[in-house]
Structure 1
């Protein structure tokens, strides 16, 4: 039986001399490279729930990623201590933490609306999707490693014949596997009306083959998704559902009693919520949905009167101490409902993460309820609509080859653009650049294109 981790997992696209004697494993090296990367730093300027310019209190993509990494590491510690207590192999905490930190690297400015805008622009050239972009950043676009040719011709990573030699942070194959959430190649060309497709780009097809060759494949023929990737995925759901709700309460959008009253009094809302949760929970019953919401939000003393209960509900939302206690209790309850199904073979690489049904319903209910009531509210939707226009306009301007739009790119990207042979590769380069923008940088870039902008002496 293959161990949980071996030399195949530690291998990289470009072989390196690993200095084990200094106390850092290859996974810890990957963690360090990610933490020091420019792409990771830029997450501080990308929206999580509320736009960053509104307040410096609310979470952004960077702080969200830090929280996901902490929850993922905590889950791995729990599983190691409880479910794998008698097992000789333990889940690597550095690897799980890496996956949590990296999971949102590929998200463009303005969240999912920016994602849809770039996908619209790229449907004829392989599409755009946040998880696919994450894999591409780690394995190609982050500026740390590239494969040198016999006749080295500069350090831009694209050879003069158009060969892409970039290797991103040159992470281990097992680390790359930990962010490969969707085992499907996105079609190279899709109809204009096609919905967003999840997976990986065709440009990373050979890489995914190499990942599977090194890491292995599930024995039962199911989709490729490693144990660490599953832990990262459920940690993201837990953090997203809980902490976005916490921010929504701090922002004055809601409080527990208001949420309960909206569910009880708005049948249309319940129907939309049921439709979303049922996609993740087979055979969902109405009473399960109501019970899960009641368990999460009914935090009141039943001996209290209506006025006292309302006051307590408002206090939970407005007071930092009570709000933190509320979130902490929810996180702890969700985490304790997760376990590991160890296969009879003992091979843990693709062991399944199991979530108690009532906990799964609660996580999905909170996540989608907050989406329907906060993210879809008019106050936030107006920001999304602006973001779509900004992202799409920037891409179309840069990609306009008749007007030499690529001359607006930074110098190193202009050099890469000039060396790339196919139109699709040039479009992908521009897409990479736009996707990497922070919200503020995108707005600034747009204003310099379409409005008065800022001084010409400020570089792009």
Structure 2
């Protein structure tokens, strides 16, 4: 049986000697990531609420730090409790790397930004955040080229860029979807004709084959998702379901009690999405949830706000007090506790800490006897339902709400207009010199991808500023660099 890690995992696309033999290759990859420009730019990309609204709210950078910490905690727990890792423990640096890197490919303005770029790229290879993450790490970051360091292309038009020149195991840790995104939209599955298709770009097809060969010893014949990637995926869901909820409470938009009184359609959408994910990830389970199960989950999570003290219980049992008055006092007490959860930082912190620990305890391993590298971390079904309900109720009630959709749809328009202008004749002159040079050496597909890379790398603020300099009423300047 193969080991969880092999010497092939440590190899890089471009051979580089290690000047610090006391530091292993995974730790070198970690260092390269946190010193990269694309990692720094995550601080300017929205998580749920735009960063300028409050310094409290999370951005993509702080979210990634939390995902990395949760992922590392999962790995530490599995190393300590699972016999599968007694001889070969999970490499904590790779797991942490995956958590830090998983959102690098997100464009400005969240999911609507992703949709906008995919629509612009629909017939020239598409756009998708996870695919862009792999491209950033393997190609776009300016750490290593193959050959002459001053050249990005050779005389035959071959791309010499190798990004951060990471080990194959680190690249594998961000490869969430083992599926190639086709060049043309007509080649996509029917349900992805008009939305981003998850996977990796066709231009990275050979790289993915190399990753599989070095990690598994073969490139085909098995669905590929490494153990570290599965841990990162769970950590991402836990962070979404917990900390996005905390940001919502802090914003004052909703408190815990509000989650029980949304329009019925919200709960029906949560049920629909959760059941689809159960069907996909727990094929052997007959369990499906309904709206009452959603409310049961919410009660289990927030039951402290419904707690009844001794004096209150006496009051509620007193039949000499009219029922409406008893209901009023009970509602007042519940509302006070709900407001405390939302408004008191100590209560919020205890709540999120308790929730994360609950979810961590629900992680188990699904072993792969043929390829230990493909052991999968998985949430127990009950824990999975809790995570999905909280994650999706946040999505449906806030992220899909008009107040955020207005912001995101404005962002979608900004991105499409910028793409249109740069893609017009001589529009490449609007890009910085390094992007313009790559654009001029590329074929049509490469040129469109270069424009896409430039826009996808923008922060929210920079995209709005760039748009304003093109179309807005701001004073024109030639001194501020692109």
Which bin holds the TM-score, normalised by the shorter protein? over 0.9
Report the equivalent of 1:356. Answer: 380
For 1:378 and 1:59, the matched residues in 2 are separated by 20
Task: Say whether 1:322 aligns with 2:347.
Answer: yes
Kindly indicate whether residue 176 of structure 2 is the aligned counterpart of residue 181 of structure 1.
yes
Q: How far did 1:251 drift?
A: 0.4
Q: Which residue of 1 aligns with 2:432?
A: 410
In structure 2, how many angstroms separate the alpha carbons of the residues matched to 1:326 and 1:188? 46
**Which residues of 2 match residues 58-457 of structure 1 at below 5 A?**
58-84=57-83, 87-148=86-147, 152=148, 155-191=150-186, 193-216=193-216, 222-262=222-262, 266-282=263-279, 283-286=287-290, 287-300=292-305, 301-303=307-309, 304=312, 305-344=330-369, 347-400=371-424, 402=425, 404-420=426-442, 422-454=443-475, 455-457=477-479
SS in 1 for 2:51: coil
State the partner residue of 1:43: 42
Q: Distance in 2 between matches of 1:176 and 1:112?
A: 23
- Deviation, structure 1 residue 379: 1.3
| CA distances 1:138-172 after superposition (whole Å, capped 9, x unpaired) | 00000110011xxx4x7251235422100000000
Alpha-carbon distance change, 66 to 302 in structure 1, aligned in 2, over 3 angstroms: same
Q: Distance in 1 between matches of 2:193 and 2:412?
A: 17
Q: Equivalents in 1 of 2:37, 2:392: separation in Å? A: 32
Whole-Å separation in 1 of the counterparts to 2:184 and 2:304: 50
Bigger mean CA deviation after superposition, 274-283 or 81-90: 81-90
Partner of 2:323: none
1:378, 1:240 → 2: CA distance? 20
CA deviation after TM superposition for structure 1 residue 343, in Å: 4.3
Equivalent pair of 2:234/2:378 in contact (CA under 8 Å) = no
Q: Is the 8 A contact 1:159 1:419 kept in 2?
A: no
Name the SS of the counterpart of 2:48 in structure 1: coil
Q: Secondary structure at the match of 1:354?
A: strand
The match for 2:480 is 458
Q: How many residues align structurally?
A: 448
Displacement of 1:41 in angstroms is 0.2
Residue 87 of structure 1 and its aligned partner are, at CA, apart by 1.9
Q: Structure 1 residues 208 and 291, CA, compared in 2 at 3 Å: closer, same or farther? A: same
How far off its partner does 1:297 sit? Answer: 2.4
CA contact (8 A) 2:439 2:450 kept: yes
TM-score, structure 2 length as denominator? 0.89
What is the DSSP-based 3-state SS (H/G/I as helix, E as strand, rest coil) of the residue aligned with 1:207?
Answer: helix
- State how far apart, in whole Å, the 2-side matches of 1:197 and 1:414 are: 28
Deviation at residue 341 of structure 1 after TM alignment: 2.9
Asked if 2 retains the 8 angstrom alpha-carbon contact of 1:444 and 1:453, the reply is no
Query: Contact conserved, 1:156 with 1:416, CA < 8 A, in 2?
Result: no
How far apart, in 2, do the equivalents of 1:219 and 1:158 lie?
27
Structure 1 unaligned spans of 5+: none
Q: Please give the root-mean-square deviation of Cα atoms over the aligned residues, in Å.
A: 1.9
- State the 4+ residue runs in structure 1 displaced beyond 6 angstroms: 217-220
Residue aligned with 1:195, SS: coil
Q: Is the 8 A contact 1:218 1:224 kept in 2?
A: no
Contact 2:113 2:411 in 1 (8 A): yes
Shift of 1:456: 2.0
**Which one has a bigger Cα radius of gyration?**
2
Verify the 8 A CA contact 2:146 2:160 in the aligned structure 1. yes
Deviations along 1:31-60, one digit per CA (max 9) or x if unpaired, are: 000000000000000000111121222100
Question: For structure 1, which segment, 198-207 or 302-311, has the greater mean C-alpha deviation from structure 2 after superposition?
Answer: 302-311
Structure-2 separation of matches of 1:172 and 1:220: 20
Are the aligned partners of 2:230 and 2:378 in contact in 1 as well (CA < 8 Å)?
Answer: no
* Cα gap change, 1:451 to 1:170, in 2 (>3 Å): same
Q: Distance in 2 between matches of 1:340 and 1:290?
A: 29
Is contact 1:34-1:40 (8 Å) kept? yes
Do the aligned residues in 1 keep the contact of 2:177 with 2:198 (CA within 8 Å)?
Answer: yes
Distance 1:99 1:137 in 2: 14
Give the match's secondary structure for 2:365: strand
User: Deviation of residue 293 (structure 1)?
Assistant: 2.3
* Aligned CA distance change for structure 1 residues 10 and 279 (closer, same or farther; 3 Å): same
Q: CA deviation at 1:288?
A: 3.7
